[in-house]
Amino acid sequence: MTIIVDADACPVKGIIAEAAIVRKLKVLWVASVDHEISMPTGTVIRVDAGMDSADHTIIKHTDATSLVITQDYGLAALCLAKGAKVIHPEGWAYRVETIDGLLARRHMHQMIRRSGGRHKGPTKRKKDADKRFKAVLIEHLDLYVDKALKR
C-alpha cells in the first residue's frame, strides 16, 4: 500500500507520517511548488503551481492498493474510480455510493458563486477532527496490513 497525500492544505500531515512510520508504509506527499513541505518520512513530489497539477500527479500514482487523503471531491471521485480507498482529513471515508451527491453539491455551490450569490462555506475545523481522522486512517491501514499478512 502507498499512502498518497494531497499535501498542499492537508491539516493532518503529522498524523499520517506517524501512522506510516509505525507501519513502515510508503507515503507520497504531492505539493505545489508554492507550498513549503518537509516530511519525516516518504517522498515529496513537487508539482507546478498550475491548476490541477497536483491532482494529475496523484491520479497517475494511484491504483487499487492506494490510500489517498484529500479534501478535493473531484480528485476523490477519480481515485475511487481507480479502486483506491480515499479519506477526507475531517475523518470520513469517501464512498462510491455517495460521491455523486458530493459532486452535485460542489457544482451547485459553484453555480451560486458564479451568479453572484453566496452560500455557507466549510465549517471551522473542530478539535475532535484529528481524533476522527486518526481512527479512520488506522482502521484503513490495519485492514490493509491484516490482508497483506493473510496472503
Q: What is the pTM of this model?
A: 0.84
Residues 6+ apart with CB under 8 A from 4: 27, 28, 30, 58, 61, 62, 66, 67, 68, 69, 84
- Which pLDDT score, from 0 to 100, does residue 98 have? 82
Q: Do residues 122 and 109 lie in contact, with contact meaning Cβ atoms separated by under 8 Å? A: no
- Which pLDDT score, from 0 to 100, does residue 141 have? 94
- Which pLDDT score, from 0 to 100, does residue 148 have? 67
Report the mean per-residue pLDDT for the chain: 88
> Could you give the percent of the chain with pLDDT greater than 70?
89
Instruction: Compute φ and ψ for 149, nearest 5 degrees.
Output: -70, -30
Q: Which domains does the chain have, with CATH numbers?
A: 2-150 (3.40.50)
The segments of the chain whose pLDDT lies below 50 read none
